[in-house]
Amino acid sequence: MNKVGVLTGGGDCPGLNAVIRAVVRRAAQNSVKVVGIKNGWKGLVDLDTADLSVDSVSGILTKGGTILGTSRTNPYKQPEDVKKVIDNYKKLGLDALIAIGGEDTLGVANKLFKENKGIKVVGCPKTIDNDLNATDYTFGFDTAVNIAMEAIDRLHTTAESHHRIMVVEVMGRHAGWIALHSGLATGSDVILIPEVKIDLDEVCDILKKRHARGKGFSIVVVAEGAQFKAGQVVTQEERLDSFGHVRLGGIGEILAQEIEKRTKFETRVTVLGHIQRGGTPTAFDRFLATRFGVKAMDLVLAGKFGYMASLRGTEVTEEPIEKAVGTLKTVDMKLYELAKTFFG
């Protein structure tokens, strides 16, 4: 094993740089060179790379985002791009490739590995949504939850002062893990997730009963991918990205309008958006990302291709990449029922 490539694809999140640093440090211990692929799969299509060394990754542990850049490029959208990826992998003289990403990035990695025996791939799971299967947690999630928690804590005081209902829209396309954790951690009065259709009558009834008890304010946390019982996802635009995803957003505004119309309580909305992705990672995410980076490099050195680093309980182990990308990990309904204990 002489040369390994590493890329970060999909949405950025805190902890990516910690993984890159760990991969480079572990590789250096074993006299392996590391090539950084810039901007996800786009870097392998365009042959855009940078050599990484212990010096070049010094000081990046605490930084959010990714020093390699990222994109949502899907080489399988264009057959010629897949050929470019394979040709450039060989041109770079790579013995293996570590792909750091979520469902889409790892989906491409898995497909490349399955279809092209010469492409040796190891995965590293990343997503703030925590919706990847085959791992208990992904790095980036803890930071996103803590950012949402702090924002909701701050909104509590202004909601109470103005006797308002505050609707807080957090990220979560198909899974409501951020909404569930941040909502429960802040004592929010209603938590709405993509896994359960929104019943406006039920939501407004909870809020009315709370106000009848003398509580003059309420906090409602809603995931961006939540849907009303009648159907139809609220989207910012109908255009799809290269992986076929609709750009979400706007559910909080519609929800706030409906709540105010039905309850007559003054209602405001705050959309946290990309704030949840940004900034320095928490200690948990730095620690987990570092362990994942070391594990990914160890999998390369052991020749365990087609696998990814995974957290099971407190142990970092490995799982086949294909187990992570087949189906999304959605919220456990037992946990949601627990959360409903505190609604209102």
DSSP string, 202-249: HHHHHHHHHHHTT---EEEEEETT-EETTEEE-EEEEEE-TTSPEEE-
Known catalytic residue: 55? no
What pLDDT was estimated at residue 233?
A: 46
Return the closest-CA partner of residue 102 out of 179, 11, 27, 36. 11
Region(s) of the chain under CATH 3.40.50.460: 142-278
- List pLDDT tens digits, range 239-291: 665 556 555 558 999 999 999 999 999 999 999 999 999 999 999 999 999 99
Q: What is the mean pLDDT of the chain?
A: 93
Percent of the chain with pLDDT strictly greater than 90: 90
Which strand ranges, in their side-by-side order, compose the sheet holding 218-223? 190-192, 218-223, 165-170, 267-271
pLDDT at 147: 97
pLDDT value, residue 247: 56
Architecture of domain 142-278: 3-Layer(aba) Sandwich (3.40)
Burial of 231 (0-12, 13-18, 19+ CB in 10 A): exposed
Q: Is the separation of the CB atoms in 72 and 10 below 8 Å?
A: yes
Please spell the DSSP secondary structure of 57-93, one letter per residue: TTT-TT--S-TT------GGGSHHHHHHHHHHHHHTT
Cα separation, 37 vs 5, in Å, equals 6
Question: Can you name the CATH fold of 3-139+281-325?
Answer: Rossmann fold (3.40.50)
Percent of the chain that is helix, strand, coil (3-state, to 5):
40, 20, 35
Neighbours of 19 (CB within 10 A): 29
Tokens of 85: 């990826």
The alpha carbons of the chain give a radius of gyration, in whole angstroms, of 22
The reply to whether the predicted model has a pTM over 0.85 is yes
Measured in whole angstroms, the distance separating CA 50 from the mean position of its chain's CA atoms is 25
Contact 75, 81 (CB under 8 A): yes
The one catalytic residue in 104, 129, 142, 189 is: 129
pLDDT average, residue stretch 67-94: 94
Find the helix packing angle between 333-340 and 177-185, rounded to 10°. 30
pLDDT class of 116 with cuts at 50, 70, 90: confident
What digits encode the pLDDT tens for the residues 225-244?
Answer: 999 987 544 555 556 655 56
- The arithmetic mean of pLDDT across residues 218-226, rounded, is 96
**What pLDDT is recorded for position 242?**
58
pLDDT in tens, 10-60: 999 999 999 999 999 999 999 999 999 999 999 999 999 999 999 999 999
d(CA 192, CA 336): 10
Q: Where in the chain is the domain with CATH 3.40.50.450?
A: 3-139+281-325
Express each pLDDT in 117-146 by its tens digit: 789 999 999 999 999 999 999 999 999 999
Q: Where are the beta strands (DSSP E) in 261-322?
A: 267-271, 307-312, 315-320
For 196-212, write each residue's pLDDT tens digit. 999 999 999 999 999 99
Quickly state the pLDDT bin for 335 (edges 50, 70, 90).
very high
Residue 232 confidence (pLDDT): 43
pLDDT of 332 strictly over 80: yes
